[in-house]
């Protein structure tokens, strides 16, 4: 099963599963801080899912474009956005075009790791204005590299659907992670394997450098300082299309968050 089929099957449960897994409020605070510091007005949400970042950013008057290749999730996002002026784009992040070049793109919840990263980086370089930002939210890979991926299992009774059993098992082979996901929601059983790239911070920086992006800031768990066991890292890149293929430049470290 391909990833977008998984999201098709999961669309009606997506917001419930999100609410069990991530803290959207903290992520939005993080995003808004960077976007406002950089005077960003237009934002592309790459792999926007059900719009959990697109919609609140549009409510804060950003010009938002939400892109996804799951028609079901886009429809869900659209239905929640009501009269907000968001441009929803059904397309593949590796090839899609936009009506405008944006000041910034965001790609949240490790979505970049599920995508063909080289092709997506190459395309984003064209979609983001020169000197524009790319904010990537990545799962932290240290546990995987040490061979101790954390599995996720929980079971919860939801009146609307019955018992929801979630079972996520990570297997890591060199730079590839296969995440076997299994959801039993009432009588509905959804199983899939998602293969994603497992890139260290340095590896990610090298890939993005090759496509003209320069690392500007790195954050851990939505703060600057690296805790002992970070679960994720967030990177802010600047689009310098003319610098394609350059090796690592000096980076600006932010310790103010
Ligand atoms: C882990 S979900 C994250 C969704 C959203 N960013 C969030 O944080 O809730 C990954 C999303 O990326 C979308 N996606 C995966 N591959 C894609 C691609 N090549 N082009 C566009 N969207 C893609 C999926 O349909 C899904 O909505």
Closest listed residue to residue 160, CA positions, set 5, 4, 16: 16
Q: What is the pLDDT of residue 234?
A: 93
What CATH number labels 143-196? 2.20.25
Q: Does residue 49 have its Cβ closer than 6 Å to ligand 1? A: yes
Q: Does residue 70 have its Cβ closer than 6 Å to ligand 1? A: yes
pLDDT tens track for 103-129: 999 999 989 988 999 999 999 999 999
5-141+199-243 belongs to CATH 3.40.30.10: no
Residues of the chain with CATH 2.20.25: 143-196
In angstroms, the Cα distances linking 82 to 54, 55, 56, 188 are 12, 10, 12, 29
Q: How far apart are CA 76 and CA 58, in angstroms?
A: 16
Q: Does residue 44 have its Cβ closer than 6 Å to ligand 1? A: no
Mean pLDDT of 193-199: 76
Q: How far apart are CA 3 and CA 149, in angstroms?
A: 21
State the pairing for strand pair 102-107/42-46. Answer: parallel
Q: What is the pLDDT of residue 254?
A: 45
Give the neighbor-by-neighbor strand order of the sheet with 152-158.
152-158, 162-173, 176-185, 188-197
Residues of the chain with CATH 3.40.50.150: 5-141+199-243
Residue 84 phi, psi (nearest 5):
-65, 145
Q: Does residue 113 have its Cβ closer than 6 Å to ligand 1? A: no
Q: Judge whether 115 and 195 are in contact, CB under 8 Å.
A: no
pLDDT tens track for 123-153: 999 999 999 999 999 876 545 555 566 677 8
Q: What is the pLDDT of residue 193?
A: 77
Q: How far apart are CA 217 and CA 254, in angstroms?
A: 6
Distance 56 CA to ligand 1 centre (A): 17
**Does position 256 have pLDDT exceeding 50, yes or no?**
no
pLDDT tens track for 11-70: 888 888 888 888 999 999 999 999 999 999 999 999 999 999 999 999 999 999 999 999
Q: How far apart are CA 220 and CA 231, in angstroms?
A: 8
Residue with the two structure tokens 């730079």: 175
Q: What is the pLDDT of residue 148?
A: 62
Shortest-distance Cα residue to atom 24 of ligand 1: 47
Q: Is 50 exposed, middle or buried (0-12, 13-18, 19+ CB in 10 A)?
A: buried
Q: Does residue 48 have its Cβ closer than 6 Å to ligand 1? A: yes
Give the least confident one: 91-105, 133-147, 226-240. 133-147
Distance 250 CA to ligand 1 centre (A): 31
Shortest-distance Cα residue to atom 23 of ligand 1: 47
Q: Judge whether 182 and 153 are in contact, CB under 8 Å.
A: no
Residues 6+ apart with CB under 8 A from 194: 3, 6, 114, 178, 179, 181
């Amino acid at each position: 099963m391909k990833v977008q089929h998984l999201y098709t099957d999961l669309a009606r449960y997506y917001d419930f599963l999100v609410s069990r897994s991530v803290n959207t409020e903290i992520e939005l605070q993080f995003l808004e801080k960077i976007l406002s510091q950089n005077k960003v007005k237009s934002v592309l949400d790459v792999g926007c899912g059900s719009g959990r970042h697109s919609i609140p950013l549009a409510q804060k008057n950003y010009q938002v474009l939400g892109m996804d290749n799951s028609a079901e999730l886009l429809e869900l996002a659209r239905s929640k956005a009501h009269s907000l002026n968001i441009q929803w784009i059904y397309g593949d992040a590796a090839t899609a075009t936009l009506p405008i070049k944006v000041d910034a793109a965001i790609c949240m919840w490790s979505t970049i790791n599920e995508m063909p990263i080289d092709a997506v980086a190459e395309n984003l370089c064209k979609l983001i204005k020169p000197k524009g930002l790319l904010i990537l939210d990545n799962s932290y890979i240290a546990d995987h590299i040490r061979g101790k991926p954390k599995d996720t299992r929980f079971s919860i009774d939801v009146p609307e659907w019955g018992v929801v059993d979630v079972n996520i098992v990570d297997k890591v082979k060199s730079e590839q992670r296969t995440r076997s996901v299994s959801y039993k929601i009432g009588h509905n059983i959804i199983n899939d394997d998602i293969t994603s790239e497992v890139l260290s911070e340095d590896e990610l920086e090298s890939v993005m450098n090759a496509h003209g992006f320069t690392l500007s800031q790195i954050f851990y768990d939505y703060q600057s300082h690296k805790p002992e066991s970070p679960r994720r890292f967030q990177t802010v890149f600047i689009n310098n299309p003319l610098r394609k293929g350059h090796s690592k430049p000096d980076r600006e470290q932010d310790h103010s968050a």
